[in-house]
Amino acid sequence: MKAEHYVGGAFRSDGPSFALIDPRDGSERGVVPEATREIVDEAVTAARSALRGAWGAADAARRATALRRIADGIEARFDAFVDAEVADTGKPRELAATVDVPRAIGNFRAYADLLYGRPERAYTTSVPGWSGGAGEALNYTVRRPLGVVAIISPWNLPLLLLTWKVAPALAAGNAVVAKPSEETPSTATLLAHVIDAAGLPSGAFNLVHGHGADAAGAFLTGHPGVDAIAFTGESATGAAIMRNAADHVTPVSFELGGKNPAIVFADADLEAALDGTVRSSFTHSGQICLCTERVYVERPVFDDFVRELGKRAGGLAGYGPMISAEHRDKVLSYYRLAEEEGAAFVAGGGVPEFGDERDGGFYVEPTVITGLPESARTVKEEVFGPICHVAPFDTEDEALGLANDSPYGLASALWTRDLSRAHRVAPRVETGIVWVNCWNLRDLRTPFGGVKASGIGREGGEYSLDFFSEPVNVCIQI
């Protein structure tokens, strides 16, 4: 799929460009157009025009129909989306075919359904008036779109996380200007073609490609014509976007980084805990914001757990690469840092050798380490790669203290057979999501987001619709 901008209902690839690199073998597989400030401005202007025209006049039924057409269009081009997702990210095909693309379809259908039957509040009461008298009044709430919404999506789950924001933004009646990661432009471009074929009014959805700092991302998030910003990515970038948005007091929704803990109690089903920890630490080679990087295991089962986790990590096959040479080098720098800090390597720690074209790609080994103090940088800082540090604990309170001792607070996992303990501990873990005896089991209606440096606000179901719309109170004297 050739990467193109989509602005005001037209595809274009004018302006400067940069190379698109295949992370599986390091080869150049195309070029990506870089949106200039002028192109971003045209996209915002087109979005504003759509709000004043046909898209702004579309009622809930028309918007829901449009979302279902988009879902049907993705489904009709299912294999093309899978191919594009795998080519951009290098992730295993099974992951793209069973998670990323089905979730993208589900996002549009879910928000089409949510548009119907969504209640708003109404009150009839006697209220004091400004003159001191009292009168009967009917108060009710209606919702209107925020306006032009900027959506910035990351490279790790490019289609899933883009559609998770685009679907509710369109459902609420906003016009969208989206910028995917410069590393993963293909499924976003393919989505623009599907949206174009679905017949949305010109400017309702716009797509611009490019980099972030001092480029398309900054031009978009700092644009005075943008009414809200939804971003998923690393915490430092979120802070930069917030500074950019501050001049215009633009509302933001951020899902940011994580240094996610897992707590394994001695009474847990250890086979399930091991399987779950392998998934949570090494799925997509650790390049998911929800992945576990800190594992705390109750001391009676610590040695057995570490030994078996290392064995399973060392036996993994078919894993994907890091997204880029730069990110591979960052992850490897943490492997070396862990060594300098005194970590014991139970598995991994280097670069695999395949003896084929993959040796030109950006792979690192799944890695398990132990023995570091909680103050170590490797334990504190988000690596965003296939590595976890395992440490013992003796008491429930100690486990909670270790898990909560982090600037991040996105997700966590608890492993225990004791239901009372699960209910007691889960609310005390300082993360936005707590999984008990599972990992990444998601219902699209539930709130998703983090605390502390892991984000602002919540996404999912009506929580997303709440962000992408403005409640307006109407008061009518009876």
The total of structural domains in the chain comes to 2
Q: What is the mean pLDDT of residues 155-171?
A: 98
The active-site residue out of 255, 293, 298, 430 is 255
Given 4, 34, 85, 289, the catalytic residue: 289
Tell me the residue length of the chain. Answer: 478
pLDDT, tens only, 140-153:
999 999 999 999 99
**Mean per-residue pLDDT for 414-438?**
98
Strands ordered across the beta sheet of 433-436: 344-347, 367-370, 387-393, 292-298, 260-264, 411-415, 433-436
- Residue 91 in this model has a pLDDT that exceeds 80: yes
Q: Where residue 346 sits, what CATH number does that domain have? A: 3.40.309.10
Written as one letter, the residue type at 50 is A
pTM for this entry: 0.95
Q: Is the dihedral of CA 114, 251, 454, 67 positive or negative?
A: positive
- Based on the residue annotation, tell me whether 353 is a catalytic residue of this protein: no
Least confident window among 215-224, 241-250, 366-375, 408-417? 241-250
Do residues 465 and 390 both lie within one domain? no
Q: Which pLDDT belongs to residue 244?
A: 86
Q: What is the pLDDT of residues 323-375, one digit of tens each?
A: 999 999 999 999 999 999 999 999 999 999 999 999 999 999 999 999 999 99
**Does residue 369 sit in the same domain as residue 335?**
yes
Residue 341 in tokens: 């800090």
Q: Is the dihedral of CA 298, 300, 302, 305 positive or negative?
A: negative
Mean pLDDT score across all residues of the chain: 96
The span from the CA of 279 to the CA of 439, in Å, is 8
According to DSSP, the β-strands at 451-452 and 408-409 are antiparallel
Q: Is residue 448 domain-resident?
A: no
291 and 426 assigned to the same domain: yes
Let me know whether 268 and 347 are in one domain: yes
**CA-wise closest residue to 335 among 361, 307, 366, 360:** 366
Give, to the nearest 10 degrees, the angle between helix 158-171 and helix 101-114.
Answer: 10
Residues 316 and 251 in one domain: no
pLDDT of residue 469 exceeding 90, the answer is yes
**Rounded to an integer, what distance in angstroms lies between the CA atom of residue 346 and that of residue 383?**
18
388 is catalytic: no
CATH number of the CATH domain containing 40: 3.40.605.10
Quote the pLDDT of residue 216: 97
Dihedral class, residue 63 (left if φ above 0, else alpha if ψ from -120 to 50, else beta): alpha
Radius of gyration of the chain (CA): 24
Q: What is the predicted pLDDT for the residue at 135?
A: 75
Residues 347 and 382 in one domain: yes
Residue 260 host element (H or E)? strand 260-264
Q: Tell me what pLDDT residue 134 has.
A: 64
Identify residue 336 by its one-letter amino acid code: R
In a domain, 449, yes or no: no
For the CA atoms of 264, 268, 274, 275, what is the dihedral angle to 10 degrees?
-120
Helices marked H in 224-376: 235-246, 270-282, 299-314, 325-340
Phi, psi of 436, rounded to the nearest 5 degrees: -115, 120
Closest listed residue to residue 411, CA positions, set 260, 267, 214:
260
pLDDT, tens digit (0-9, with 9 covering 90-100), for 292-318: 999 999 999 999 999 999 999 999 999
- Chain position carrying tokens 């403005």: 470
Burial class (CB in 10 A: 0-12, 13-18, 19+), 476: exposed
Beta partners for residue 473, in sequence order: 141
What pLDDT shows up at residue 464?
96
- What is the per-residue pLDDT across 97-110, written as a single tens digit (0 to 9) for each? 999 999 999 999 99
Q: What range does the domain containing 377 cover?
A: 260-443
The pLDDT assigned to 118 comes to 79
8 A C-beta contact, residue 310 and residue 387: no
Residue 407 has pLDDT above 70, yes or no: yes
